[in-house]
Structure 1
Amino acid sequence: MDLNEHYRFWLHTRKPECDYYERATDIPVSASCARIGRENDSFAGLGKLSKLVELEASNANQDMLEEISRLSALQYLDLGWPLVAKDLTPLLALENLQVLKIDSPRHMTDFSPLSKLPKLERLFLTNAKHCDNLDWLRPLKNQLIALGIEGSTWTKHTIPTLEPLNGFALEALFLTNTKLADQDLSPLATMRNLRFLGTALNAPKAEFMALKARNAGLECSWFDEALWATFKDPRPPKQS
């Protein structure tokens, strides 16, 4: 297991396998954990399962998200590929939610409702094509323990700048398959709790070595001098 996977497990972003159900009505009312993928109205009745603490739900549309919003005991929610709902506001009802993973939100343009979840500690966004800045994360500065803003297997995600994360209390940050427009890692040096950085090669070697010098306790594969024997600095961003 590499460091990236080790930290994902340590942060409990991957839960033990839950049973998979074809329809919400098949899920026992006593179930605390379940997996379901939307097919037409297969999610109908999901909101009545008040014992659910962990839920993996794929292909969720707006109506399914409304059902999920009624699960007040939910602590772990994985909205798997793809999320086709357009509005995250219903999730504000999940006042006990601690872990949220969203994969490929196709139509989502406003992620700011997530910054109002009172107990959210671990947030992972994958292939969020319309998440074009990180400013909306600022209210979570002292709340998040782990954050992932990541591209998909085939598509890089461009992040304009990490400046909005200045001073965050993060312990781990994942930037897999990302491109950093300003190639500036200095905001990460202000994160005094940061212990792991899992990132694509999105800044020059000098930026990584400067970060290493400022945070001796931080682990990142790009701090290894030997690794740079086979890699070059990424191309600088195009000037507008």
Structure 2
Amino acid sequence: MTDTRALYAAHITRHWPDAGRYLDASAVPDGAAAAQLKREKKSHCGIGGKTALKALLAEGTDQAYLDELCELAGLQYLDLDWPTTAKDLSPLKKLRELRFLRIDSPRNIDDFTPLLELPKLEALLIENAKAMTTLDWLKPLAPRLRVFGIEGSRHTDQRIQSLEPLRGFQLEALLLRSTRIEDQDLAPLHSMVSLRLLNTALNAPRSQFKALERALPGLECDWFYDAKWKGFRDPRPPKA
């Protein structure tokens, strides 16, 4: 079973404990299993030769940086930290061992379907993807995705039409902070009996959360607690 807590912790901390932070790929030790590399101009050049890497936090990923890091065939954890300016995710298809992927602010990307060809992907976290308004493209990942997050930024909500495309998934954790679900319907989650953690913005009325709690009594969600609602009211109804 996927270690949901570990994957969620990786999302929160955005680094691995043994990952040194570097500003130039040449400084990354050849035998390093994990690293954080911030690109400054062409300082990423050479990262593709650090073949021992299993985990990489890449800051400032332009297309050239993405193309080269995708030569690291053994990568299992990849965090594309802000700002992500690459335009094409197709090179990621080379990362056949990838289990965990986070993409922060992919402002130039409108096609996420290359991610469907990552055969071992278990955890996918996407933040502030302005061009993504539907989750329909995600459906082929239903058999293997265990952790999914689609979140906005500190100042901008991520707008998603519906959670309906997630019906049939067996997620263990779903992260929806700084989101706005346009239809305000949590019913697609009722049959997700594997779900243990729902970390979400207030994007549905209280009655929806109560119904979800009845359907999944083992689920952890802050909005199930009366004290959480102090000072809050139901969001405005969806537009007809």
Q: TM-score range by the shorter chain?
A: over 0.9
Give the AA of the match of 2:200: T
Q: TM-score under structure 1 normalisation?
A: 0.93
> Separation in 2 of the partners of 1:173 and 1:72?
28
Q: In the alignment, what sits opposite 1:52?
A: 53
Moved more, 229-238 or 51-60: 229-238
Which structure 2 residues correspond to residues 176-215 of structure 1 after superposition, within 5 A? 176-215=177-216
Q: In the alignment, what sits opposite 2:138?
A: 137
Extract unaligned runs of 5+ from structure 2. none
Q: In the alignment, what sits opposite 2:168?
A: 167
Q: Does 1:151 align with 2:152?
A: yes
Cα RMSD for the two superposed structures: 1.5
Number of aligned pairs? Answer: 234
Identical aligned pairs, as a percentage? 48
Shift in Å, 1:11: 5.4
Shift in Å, 1:9: 6.0
Q: TM-score under structure 2 normalisation?
A: 0.93
Q: In the alignment, what sits opposite 1:76?
A: 77
Q: In the alignment, what sits opposite 1:3?
A: none
> Separation in 1 of the partners of 2:149 and 2:6?
10
Which structure 2 residues correspond to residues 8-27 of structure 1 after superposition, within 5 A? 12-13=10-11, 14=13, 15-16=16-17, 18-27=19-28
Shift in Å, 1:36: 0.9
SS in 2 for 1:192: coil
Shift in Å, 1:79: 0.3
SS in 2 for 1:78: strand
Extract unaligned runs of 5+ from structure 1. 1-5
Shift in Å, 1:225: 2.2
Is the contact made by 2:199 and 2:221 (CA closer than 8 Å) also made in structure 1? yes
Is the contact made by 2:84 and 2:105 (CA closer than 8 Å) also made in structure 1? yes
Q: In the alignment, what sits opposite 1:104?
A: 105
Give the AA of the match of 1:107: N
SS in 1 for 2:190: helix
